[in-house]
Amino acid sequence: MIQFNELGLAELILRAVSDEGYTTPTPIQAKVIPDMMNGRDILGTAQTGTGKTAAFVLPILERVAERIAGSHPRPAPKHAHALIVAPTRELTAQIADSIRTYGRHVRPSVAVIVGGLKPGPQIKAMARGVDIIVATPGRLLDHMSTGAIKLDQTALIVLDEADQMMDLGFLPAIRKIMARLPKERQVALLSATMPKQIRALANDFLKAPSEISVAPVAKPIEKI
Ligand code: AMP
């Protein structure tokens, strides 16, 4: 079985993973992490409890670690290098927690952009530009329309729980967001189920994706 330290992740990331007590990637992590690091688009069918969050967070942190090591410029004001879109405030909070946990040694800049909170602090958080935005679709679109957030330099995008975003009526917003991204970008789309509207979304916005489907698990994987 493959180990985390065989995936080519930066030492600063491996240390945080090991701090959590994880040695072996879950099946979705073993497939998605190398494919994302190779620049491939991802179409993943996976539910909560499969380790899907770390599967996309670790490759994003790898990109940030490379940026900090000096191989890429820092994000411009109001811009972000990576964007994670999720259906609910709760889920964005969980994803931001994972970024903090696995990113504790990389220390990326992160803005959480969600509805139900004052826009002012979010605009301020974006002013200098950030490594990663974690957002719900509606509020992200609001900030894009006022010019507080610009996505023309965002080359790495994750759509998490796409089927739930569809159920909440966010598909038109997702399409508008995708249309504002640069042509050269990498997209990972994750969904617990793969109804035909989500397949259509993938067909429209993903290029030759690596497809992975992991069986639902009965209960979340326990921490070692
Ligand atoms: P998720 O499917 O992303 O919601 O993750 C479910 C749970 O699995 C979380 O509590 C993670 O902390 C945990 N987890 C993630 N990756 C691993 C791993 N490689 N080994 C053990 N547990 C993990």
pLDDT digits (tens, 9 = 90+) for 80-126: 999 999 999 999 999 999 999 999 999 999 999 999 999 999 999 99
Using the mean position of ligand 1's atoms as its centre, give its distance from the Cα of residue 49 in Å: 6
Distances from the Cα of 106 to the Cα of 55, 62, 109, 131, 167, angstroms = 17, 9, 10, 11, 35
Residues near ligand 1 (Cβ within 6 A)? 22, 24-26, 29, 48-54, 220-221, 223
User: Within 71-195, where are the H helices?
Assistant: 89-102, 119-127, 137-146, 162-167, 171-179
* Ligand 1 atom nearest 98 alpha carbon: 12
Q: Which of 26, 52, 91, 98 to mutate to test the pocket of ligand 1 (most atoms within 8 A of CB)?
A: 26
Cβ(54)–Cβ(16) under 8 Å? no
- Distance from C-alpha of 112 to C-alpha of 84, rounded to nearest angstrom: 10
Using the mean position of ligand 1's atoms as its centre, give its distance from the Cα of residue 99 in Å: 13
Model confidence, pTM: 0.95
pLDDT digit string (tens) for 182-224? 999 999 999 999 999 999 999 999 999 999 999 875 555 555 5
Cβ(198)–Cβ(162) under 8 Å? yes
- Distance from C-alpha of 166 to C-alpha of 199, rounded to nearest angstrom: 12
* Ligand 1 atom nearest 26 alpha carbon: 19
